[in-house]
Amino acid sequence: MADRRDPNDPLGRKQRDTRSQIRLYLAGAAALAALILIVQNSQKVEFNFFFASAQTPLFFGLLIAFVLGALVGWLLPRVRGSRNRSDSKRD
């Protein structure tokens, strides 16, 4: 694999490929959209989870849902990948 240094960078850092730059921009746009959604929804609501309930601002519940969704999205490929690797070792 070739070492692709950016000739215009005075520190000589590696160039990022286009795919990772697109992912970075999309993640930033999604985070900005989530932040706008959270800020615009600040009224108090009641959250019920199994036997517990709490009166809290809606943005707090949205923030928790966003963080849990990001965590599941980050963990799911890793769990599936480890399962696929163990299945291929058995064959």
For residue 61, with 0-12 CB atoms within 10 Å meaning exposed, 13-18 middle and 19 or more buried, which class applies? Answer: middle
Query: Which residues on adjacent β-strands are paired with residue 45?
Result: 56
What's the pLDDT score for residue 1? 47
Rounded distance, CA 3 to CA 30, Å?
Answer: 31
Determine the pLDDT at residue 4.
Answer: 67
Using DSSP's 3-state secondary structure scheme, residue 52 falls into strand
Whether pTM exceeds 0.85: no
Check if the beta carbon of residue 16 is closer than 8 Å to that of residue 7.
no
According to the model, what pLDDT value does residue 25 have?
92
Per-residue pLDDT of the chain (91 residues; tens, 9 = 90+): 456 666 776 766 666 677 778 888 999 999 899 788 878 888 999 988 788 898 988 888 888 888 999 999 999 888 877 666 655 565 5
The distance of Cα 28 from the centroid of its chain, to the nearest Å, equals 10
User: What local confidence, expressed as pLDDT, does residue 32 receive?
Assistant: 93
The pLDDT, as a whole number, for residue 41 is: 82
